[in-house]
Chain A
């Protein structure tokens, strides 16, 4: 979603003449009524099923409720931040191996990348939650959620980094070679710093995926936002209202991260790789 999106969707239409303007106006009025009707029906459904009753909402006025949710949110942030860091490092390493000329490096890297991109993060969570302990390895619930989320993201990030490296103009490498720089030096001093600049907006938008993946933390009983919400629900028996609030929080947080990615992308003139 960018300014360009808006202008292009407008570009599909002619500047309207008088007849078209009238038609659009009529359409707008009808559509406006229909949308209002839709909103009304949703609210009415909440009302007739008793979900607007104060007992479901009043506890949201208590500071303790929000403190508890805040703790959960911090848990979400902690998992997301560490998983994000893991995926950055591992993604970079995987990309370097993947682009290496050594078969012994790039073939395994390819397999690992395809693997992590091709399995759902939930399956990885079950691996760390159910399978790993069978081999006598003890892990805290934090790592049981953080490791799989980080691993799943690393496969995607490796490909994002690779796209960034490919975006560095060939002339840069040629110029460095003509200065007599060694290949490893060219990679680390010339190519990578530029490649990373190309992918920053994409990295930010990939963080949304990480945040979403953390929501399965309840599987391993790690107290993240969703898990704490479930506790609230069992305390107050307010299922609809609590899930509604939690969903809105997730949507806003991820929306803001996406906005940040778009803002950075527009300011630096770098495209977001999907």
Chain B
């Protein structure tokens, strides 16, 4: 549970932080994940892109079992992801998750949102939890909003609080499920800046996003998904400049049009 962050990218022979092996999932008749194999190394920043309905969000959500899988294996730091109970909760506590719609606890203050996990899950004394929460809120630039409730904040501010809430648990890795898709354009950058900071600090990150500038700046690797499979993966420059598949080229053209 230590938050010491190693700085480099993947070291050969090291156990990957997140590993998916032959993951399959159906929603009724829909085959949403087809034989997904993926490794995310410690300190690596992986960006997942793809058209809507490609399964990218679903894949991201399987990593902390917000979505179950039909078959295959998910390993976190070399250990299989538990299926239920305390073990699952403990595993989730070590993985941060940031949602498209922020999902801050609507009935609690900003400060309470950030301290809830440490106090209730890790048993950190309230005073200590509040001090480190304030430090985190400072870091993401919303410390002066600590006493407000989520609905009083802008979308961008809420998303930064959501990131702080995850960070408060000192996660080994963080997943971002389209973190800027619900934001007004002028708020996207303030959230991306926080994410860039995190990436530079060595956090292991899986980011589902369409923000190509972000991907180019910090991603170690880009994965392109369509129809539930990983169609292509490579370095950001490789992928964005020389996509090899037709699907990827079409998709890149369509989002460039914006």
Contact = CB atoms under 8 A, between A and B. Distances in A.
Establish whether A and B are touching in the complex (CB under 8 Å). Answer: yes
Interface of A: 14-20
Given A15-B68, A17-B83, A19-B84, 5 more contacts: A15-B65, A17-B85, A18-B84, A20-B84, A20-B85
17 contacts: A14-B65, A14-B84, A14-B88, A15-B65, A15-B68, A16-B84, A17-B82, A17-B83, A17-B84, A17-B85, A17-B88, A18-B83, A18-B84, A19-B84, A19-B85, A20-B84, A20-B85
Contacts of A14: 65, 84, 88
Interface in B79-134: 82-85, 88
A20 B68 CA distance: 14
Secondary structure at the B interface, as helix, strand, loop or mixed, is loop
A109 to B, nearest CB: 34
B132 to A, nearest CB: 29
B46 to A, nearest CB: 25
A7 to B, nearest CB: 14
Interface residues of B, number: 7
B245 to A, nearest CB: 33
Contacts of A20: 84-85
Interface in B143-202: none
Q: Which of B84, B85, B88 has the most CB of A within 10 A?
A: B84
A2 B83 CA distance: 30
A43 B68 CA distance: 44
A14 B81 CA distance: 14
A48 B91 CA distance: 58
Q: Which of B68, B82, B83 has the most CB of A within 10 A?
A: B83
A18 B88 CA distance: 13
A14 B87 CA distance: 13
Nearest to B84: A17
A14 B82 CA distance: 13
A21 to B, nearest CB: 9
B76 to A, nearest CB: 16
A15 B65 CA distance: 9
A262 to B, nearest CB: 24
Nearest to A18: B83
Nearest to A16: B84
A175 B52 CA distance: 37
Contacts of A19: 84-85
A225 to B, nearest CB: 45
B100 to A, nearest CB: 17
The 10 closest A-B pairs by CB, nearest first: A17-B84, A17-B83, A15-B68, A20-B84, A19-B84, A14-B84, A18-B83, A16-B84, A19-B85, A17-B85
Contacts of B84: 14, 16-20
A20 B86 CA distance: 12
B107 to A, nearest CB: 17
A246 B77 CA distance: 65
B112 to A, nearest CB: 21
Contacts of B85: 17, 19-20
A16 B88 CA distance: 11
Interface in B37-95: 65, 68, 82-85, 88
A14 B67 CA distance: 9
Nearest to B68: A15
Contacts of A15: 65, 68
Contacts of B82: 17
B79 to A, nearest CB: 16
A24 to B, nearest CB: 11
A15 B68 CA distance: 7
A17 B82 CA distance: 9
Nearest to A14: B84
A16 B65 CA distance: 11
Contacts of A17: 82-85, 88
Nearest to A15: B68
A19 B83 CA distance: 9
A15 B82 CA distance: 12
Nearest to B87: A17
A19 to B, nearest CB: 6
A115 B81 CA distance: 61
Contacts of B83: 17-18
B233 to A, nearest CB: 28
B91 to A, nearest CB: 12
